[in-house]
Amino acid sequence: MSFKKVLCFILCVCLILSLFSCMKQGDLMTTTTTSGDEKLTTEKDDATTSATWTEGETEWTSPDGAPVPDSSTEPIVAEVVELPSGIKKNTVSLYGEYTKTEATYTGLEPLPKAEFKVHDPDNSRNLPTKLIAHAYGVAKDGKPNDISVRSQAFFDSKNYNAITYDNKTDKKVLYLTFDVGYENGYTAKILDVLKEKNVPAMFFCTLPQIKQYPQLIARMILEGHVVGNHSKTHPSFAKISRTKMMEEVKAFDDYIREKFGYTAPFFRYPMGEYNESSLELLNSFGFKCVFWSVAYADWDLNNQKGKEHAFNTVTSRLHPGAVILLHSVSPDNANALGDIIDYARQQGYEFKLLPNKRQK
């Protein structure tokens, strides 16, 4: 047998063995791309897709089913996002991952940390510390419930800079807000709908959530939404000290300033629990506390009732100046959101953001 024939035989055997080895391993594929101290690891099979982003000591994992970059190809740039004047532009890839430029996930310049001074840490003035669970009632007939009316009147009478609904307008204005404490894959779908419908919204996030899913937070910011402070660890602000309140608010604000070049003066109480001492302190920090006048039990994933239920519940409670609270973990909300927006606009409503005066 000639040397060429022997060589061809050996190569064929090697090829067959390689193919057999791949079949034994199944369809699972792992790709690792390393650049400096940053590593993106992607695992794929027929059922799931996940991504883990590691930087220093912090690790984030994307929701199951989230699109991830293919290391074999260059990211595809989708578009340039228009930002408010004076803020740099950035691009987003079709994979849903924002290009990390300079020192932040948005490409915006990091902001200096703000000072949060706790005056009267021991509450020597005896501001009421009794727990208040936010109540709003069921709005109907295009009007806020009397409970919401009384709540807003109380906030206004004390100059607490808090809002349950906009009682300064009789125009058909709506403020769409979401609480985002963790991820199960629906926030990105909600963002897709908001982008398609050109509707701005406010997302209230906790610190672990913005650390774990920086690509989603960057997308919110760069697409013109507000990312509000929902605290570091989601405690009841009626059960912690004034100093601890400050630490909860500051930890979130410090991180989003440093890692995203962003801040917004809006706060939402975890679980809607507060007291007058906390209202006074948050006001002293320059935050507007954002409550709500329209909501329903959408957070319970074991009690989802379908797209039609979400649509009927929300649309039946709309009223001028309404602050709408939804949870981004609800598949019902994600599926009904486009129809809710279309219906509201057909009734003459306009979606707006609360005035945003950034802290410096």
- Hey, which bits of the chain come out as E strands? 29-35, 38-44, 49-55, 58-61, 77-80, 91-93, 132-133, 162-163, 173-180, 202-205, 226-229, 266-267, 273-274, 288-290, 322-327, 350-351
Question: 245, 91 in Cβ contact below 8 A?
Answer: no
**Structure tokens given for 145:** 């419930």
Q: How far is CA 196 from CA 223, 291, 343, in A?
A: 11, 26, 15
Three-state DSSP state, 37: coil
List the catalytic residue out of 134, 166, 179, 254: 179
Cα separation, 285 vs 101, in Å, equals: 30
Cα separation, 164 vs 177, in Å, equals: 12
Q: Provide the CA 352 distance to its chain's centre, in angstroms.
A: 17
List the catalytic residue out of 225, 230, 319, 327: 327
Mark whether 179 is an active-site residue: yes
Mark whether 309 is an active-site residue: no
Q: Provide the CA 195 distance to its chain's centre, in angstroms.
A: 14
Question: Could you give the residue numbers annotated as active site?
Answer: 179, 327
